[in-house]
Amino acid sequence: MQPLVRFAQQCARRLPDALSLGALTVAAILVYQLYTDIANQKLFDENFRLLAELDRTRQELREVEERIATLHVRDRDLRAFAELDSIPEDVRAVGVGGSVPSAWSPEKDETGLALERLDRELTLLESSMGEIRDAVASRVEELKHIPSIRPVREGRISSGYGPRRDPFTRHRRMHKGVDFQAPRGTEIVAPAAGRVIYANRMSSFGRTIKIDHGNGIETLFGHLHRIHVQVGQNIERGDVIGQVGSTGRSTSSHLHYEVRIDGRHTNPRDYFITDEFAWDE
């Protein structure tokens, strides 16, 4: 009987310790659960924030894609204007290939591929714009050398290009230029940029100027009263080169003006643009 009593007494003494250990265990479990809940909530909040940011990024990508699509349309128009070959649609697609990376996810792949595609499209457009810029610059330089304005500010065309009755012989013959009737001393201007290749008397034309505009284009100005340029001089469109006169084989004060392409005469009026545009330069 005594051993049983002693065992009961020992259990009674250890009961508070057991209860304390149980309480600590429960408390530890509760703390761990609370910590886990907080961590999960933070993870949930972070995931929600990332998803919202991903949605904003996708929306911004869609807006950028729309703007780049507009740039492609303008690029096509500009290439046509610059007389450049169009870029094939399969080239504009700027596709790529390759293996799928190990750390792959649909969201990451979609956004990453979109960004890479946009980068390639921008690179393509930059290259195309460079070609357009160079082509337009070259075209502008060519236009500077086309005789597109009248060589006198005032004065009407008194005789056009083509067959006419010669004022001296009365026989019909080809008139290889146009005549501008204007008072003696009226300024004559260069119709385009070029280099003076002749500035002297020339048989029936009297005082004459010839300008080489490049690309096989030459202009001639005859019957001048005065010459203001010299051979080898570079000139720009609108520069004063001489004065209207009546030297050489002439009946009155006027300017005889010719345009030659690769040595062949052509109608100068085919190159004239409106006077308003011409003299606003």
Supply the pTM of this predicted model: 0.58
Structure confidence at residue 83 (pLDDT):
80
d(C-alpha 53, C-alpha 279), whole Å: 58
Each as own residue / partner, the long-range contacts of residues 266-272 (CB below 8 Å, 24 or more positions apart, any chain) are 267/160, 267/161, 267/162, 267/178, 268/147, 268/161, 268/177, 268/178, 268/219, 269/157, 269/160, 269/161, 269/178, 271/146, 271/147, 271/148, 271/191, 272/148, 272/149, 272/150
Same domain, yes or no: 21 and 121: yes
Residue after which a domain boundary falls, among 118, 144, 170? 144
| Total domain count, the chain | 2
- The reply to whether 151 falls in a domain is no
Residue 222: give its domain's CATH number: 2.70.70.10
Closest CA to 143 of 260, 258, 259, 237: 237
Positions in the chain short of pLDDT 70:
1-35, 37, 39, 41, 44, 48, 95-109, 164, 166-171, 274-281
CA angle, 159 then 182 then 230, to 5°: 100
Establish if 274 belongs to a structural domain: yes
Per-residue confidence (pLDDT) for residue 37, from 0 to 100: 66
- pLDDT at 202 (0 to 100): 92
pLDDT of res. 190: 96
Q: Under DSSP, is residue 239 helix (H, G, I), strand (E, B) or coil?
A: coil
What is the pLDDT, as a whole number, of residue 191? 95
**How much is the pLDDT for 211?**
97
Tell me the CA distances in angstroms from 176 to 55, 194, 267, one per residue in order.
73, 21, 8
- Strands 178-181, 194-202: pairing kind: unpaired
